[in-house]
Amino acid sequence: MNLKEQIEYPANGVLSKVISKTEKNNLTLFSMAANTDIGTHTSTKEGFVYVIEGKGTFVLNEEEIEMLPGTIIFMGQNAPHSLKAEENTSFLLSLNN
């Protein structure tokens, strides 16, 4: 599968597509419209974000991380995080069960 071919940006907000779901791992493709944010939240699972394209800011445990293509951000369980897309931004989210 070519992930870039799966990217669809909404006019505003966030669009997510489950790419793969198994007993041990969930892979979801997120596409965020420019100037969209996802408020602070946590996950009971650990995982990582891989930025495919775009530009934004990922805040993890109060640390700002620039979201640029190729960036990988590792997250521990229950780590507070939020996101803001400055331009159309897509990323792959992998969560381990």
Determine the average pLDDT of the residues in 87-94.
97
pLDDT of residue 18: 94
The kind and range of the H/E element at 4 are helix 3-6
Q: What is the CATH number of the domain that holds 35?
A: 2.60.120.10
Band the pLDDT of 76: cuts 50, 70, 90: very high
Determine the Cα–Cα distance for residues 92 and 43; give it in Å rounded to an integer.
15
Q: Edge-to-edge, what's the strand order for the sheet holding 72-75?
A: 14-21, 25-32, 89-96, 46-53, 72-75
Q: Which two tokens stand for residue 36?
A: 């969209």
Band the pLDDT of 36: cuts 50, 70, 90: very high
Determine the average pLDDT of the residues in 8-34.
95
> pTM for this structure?
0.92
Q: Domain of residue 36: give its range.
A: 3-96
Total domain count, the chain: 1
pLDDT in tens, 41-70: 999 999 999 999 999 999 999 999 999 999
